[in-house]
Amino acid sequence: MDKNKEEDIIIEENLDNTQDETVAKEEIQEEAEVKKDKKKDKKKKKDDKDEKLDEYVDRLKRTMAEFDNYRKRTEKEKSQMYDKGKKDVLEQILPLIDNFERALSGNSNEDGEKDTFLQGVEMIYKQFLEMLEGYDIKVIDALEQEFDPKYHNAVMHIEDDQYGDNIIIEEFQKGYMYKEEVLRHSMVKVAN
């Protein structure tokens, strides 16, 4: 019997060892799964962090681009407002120049000399013209030029074979340009 008991004990020990091994294997597998889950969680957390980081970088780039566009747009608008304001003021100055030209056109004494007052007015007129040139204001050439509706306003027409077709023969009021834009059209008489 002793042998049987010894065998039973050995069998029981083997069973216990097998059970212990099975339990140990299960524990090892559970630990491995937990480690895998932790790795997955870490990867997921890293992926979430990377996604958020990418999102923030994208938002930053977009915001910087929007600000750059805003800056360029406001600079352009400011420049346009400045030019418009300058143009408006210059348009108001043009009648003054016309009056200077009228004052200078026929006022000389009997000897054909201009008195000192008229010479002073002429100097002011020249100074005005120099100032206008400094602001990119140019007189539109009209006399003996071909009529161009972009620059000239025809207020009279005459039939005269002495002149060519659509040639300006008289200018009633000078026209002016600011940069590439017409401030005022020249008022002219055209021969047809």
- Dihedral sign of CA atoms 53, 55, 60, 65 in order: positive
Element (H, E) at 187: strand 186-191
pLDDT of residue 64: 95
Please enumerate in sequence order all residues whose Cβ is within 8 A of that of 97, keeping only pairs 6 or more positions apart, or say none.
125, 128, 129, 132, 174
Give yes or no for residue 186 having a pLDDT over 60: yes
Q: Which of 6-15, 66-75, 125-134, 181-190 has the lowest mean pLDDT?
A: 6-15
Query: For 178-182, which contacts have Cβ atoms below 8 Å and span 24 or more sequence positions?
Result: 178/86, 178/87, 178/90, 178/135, 178/136, 178/137, 179/83, 179/136, 181/87, 182/140, 182/150, 182/151
- pLDDT, one tens digit per residue, over 125-153 is 889 888 888 888 888 988 888 888 899 99
